[in-house]
A and B are shown apart, each in its own frame.
Chain A
């Protein structure tokens, strides 16, 4: 009896020592954010983006864009007088559970700034995690109004918000004279955010009317129910605010059913694959989107550099991720340290920093002063600029 108790006690003590000393920065006795003052350590920047799942292609563009900025900054001397930047990527898979796990890993890895966030539904639960660790977030793609409404001081959005996207949609609807509009979303945070906002803005304006506002379940193949509802309502424009896999299927099934009106998608559906999935009916489909690399005037050199570095053309959100890293680096340099509060103050003080979407100045809510949305249209399977809504 005595031998067994001795063994058990020894085991317990041994386990406690192991847990306390393993990876001091991440162990039970270690600190949360490993922002060391070691002048030779790399400054770590983290991003949680979709590496797997149906949004994986966009995640790849974002990682490449960010990596390009990191490489350029390191070649020019790094930040804080010579410290190199290091990019750490975790997978969100457009799934809240995965993104939370990824965010926790980044925090224990000791990142100083987060520059990721694509699916709003997956980004939302990571906000309190980074806030507790006092890590500023510069979000390049996720743009649901709910992220802004959390009111957290460490969150900065550099993609036009859902409200700004709805305003752009309304502007286009009025310009083209669509009298009746049907709104379809996929019941996720980002998507229903836009339809709610758009319906509110259309109703407040009064010129057009919303004849249908419905949702579909993502991940399925058969959307005959929503096709029926749309054909019955007979709108002049259908606005789909979900992601491209479902969008492509809905466009294809609408066109097969004989729908003759116009179709518009939100920025979550902007990906070349939507034309493949939708088939020939995708010709002429509109999209509300912040500028992509090929629609930005003067971005040819950047595109050439990207293609040379990664052996493929850039895609949506590569420019925003590139800018997010540059903004983060500027804020770190302005703050003169890797302290979260100092970086936040530096970010709020930025005025006129040049990004692809225009000069940067954050509003009081930490969003862009101007959304930068334009209307793109699908021609020959690629998105080109149709109307810059100026």
Chain B
């Protein structure tokens, strides 16, 4: 039982990190960014490229080198997110939502097959792998790397939450998600804030990608696709557009999957997770922490 909870918590923290970017972007420009999962993949491959070019890294420096590469990869992927927003989404901001959605799907394919063309279609082994001794806590098998990765994820999420609540940019993000024209009229530089949102969201996805690469040891150009869908599910469960909802949804989805796999068997894991998504969309579309928005005439 504790093993189930721990496995669910670990996978859930990855989902939460990626769902955050999804939720932020949806909240601010009402776009479901299908390319978001591929930014996770891009982050992993950027880190892979950097670590491979360094040659051999002694095991004692592996955590340090990983942290450095993590931050560099976050910056580079954040920049990629900004470029994508500028050229694929901003021109379509006042177009029907369908056009924006299709553009996102296009960006997703460009990222996937672009990486495949450059780095090859075969799965690659990550040069730095976090190996750790396994120890038992309350009946669950836990390794040190798992704890370290979850701590990093938690720190990033806390930082983001503080940023949204306490800084002026965070306040601007919240106001733009409520009323974009009104914010513009109040003197907020909407374009700059949206760019910053994309930067942060993409950086978080890249962080998750680098950590997944280091932990599981294996990356391939399609790894972002299914993760993107799961993160979308997590964001919907928690309440799309809501930052705390995304974190909650991610962790919940991790638990749901772990329990689903335990009760129905490993092959039913995805079926169970997406069935829960459909249930939420029909019964409570605003998610757990979402508020019902009433149109006032």
Contacts and interface: CB of A to CB of B under 8 A. Distances in A.
B269 A225 contact: yes
Given A56-B122, A258-B141, A273-B122, A221 B266 contact: no
Interface stretch (B194-202, B215-223, B280-288): B215-223
Contact of A226 (B3, B141, B226, B266): B266
A151 B153 CA distance: 55
Interface stretch (A39-47, A131-139, A210-218): A210-218
Of B116, B122, B220, B262, most A-chain CB atoms within 10 Å: B122
A182 B116 CA distance: 35
B150 interface: no
Interface stretch (A2-10, A112-120, A249-257, A362-370): A249-257
A276 interface: yes
B261 A225 contact: yes
Nearest to A258: B134
Contacts of B266: 214-217, 223, 225-226, 229
A67 to B, nearest CB: 20
B106 interface: no
Contacts of A245: 123, 218, 220
Contacts of B265: 214-215
Interface in A229-259: 229, 231, 245, 248-249, 252, 256-258
A221 B216 contact: yes
Contacts of A258: 134, 141
Contacts of A276: 125
Interface size class of B (residues with CB under 8 A): 20 to 34
A277 B212 contact: no
B286 to A, nearest CB: 29
Contact of B134 (A222, A225, A256): A256
Of B143, B226, B258, B265, most A-chain CB atoms within 10 Å: B265
B78 to A, nearest CB: 23
A359 interface: no
15 contacts: A54-B123, A187-B267, A214-B267, A217-B269, A217-B270, A219-B226, A221-B218, A224-B11, A228-B7, A245-B220, A252-B217, A256-B131, A276-B125, A277-B123, A277-B218
Nearest to A215: B267
Interface in B249-284: 258, 261-262, 265-267, 269-270
Given A224-B11, A228-B3, A252-B217, 11 more contacts: A54-B121, A214-B267, A215-B265, A219-B223, A221-B212, A222-B216, A223-B266, A225-B258, A225-B266, A228-B4, A273-B125
A248 B216 CA distance: 10
Nearest to A275: B125
Interface in A124-164: none
Interface in B58-117: 116
Ranked 3 nearest A-B pairs via Cβ: A225-B261, A215-B267, A224-B7
B244 interface: no
Contacts of A223: 266
Contacts of A224: 7, 10-11, 258
Contacts of A221: 212, 216, 218, 223
Nearest to B261: A225
Nearest to A228: B3
Contacts of A225: 7, 258, 261-262, 266, 269
Interface residues of A, number: 32
Interface string A271-282: 001001101000
B174 interface: no
Contacts of A53: 121
Contacts of B125: 273, 276-277
Contacts of B261: 225
Of B123, B141, B226, most A-chain CB atoms within 10 Å: B123
B129 interface: yes
Contacts of B258: 224-225
A220 interface: yes
Contacts of A256: 131-132, 134, 143
B37 to A, nearest CB: 13
Interface in B1-34: 3-4, 7, 10-11
A214 B262 CA distance: 11
A225 B129 CA distance: 21
A225 B217 CA distance: 18
Contacts of B129: 279
Contacts of B267: 187, 214-217
Given A215-B266, A217-B269, A224-B258, A54 B122 contact: yes
Contacts of A219: 222-223, 226
A54 B223 CA distance: 11
A52 interface: yes
B122 A57 contact: yes
Contacts of B141: 231, 257-258
Nearest to A93: B121
Given A54-B220, A225-B262, A226-B266, A220 B131 contact: no
Given A215-B265, A228-B7, A277-B217, A220 B226 contact: yes
B80 to A, nearest CB: 22
Nearest to B143: A256
Interface string B204-233: 000000001000111010110010000000
Of A215, A221, A226, most B-chain CB atoms within 10 Å: A221
Contact of A273 (B3, B123, B262): B123
Contact of B218 (A57, A228, A231, A248): A248
Contacts of A57: 122
Interface in B141-159: 141, 143
Contacts of B270: 217
A144 B141 CA distance: 37
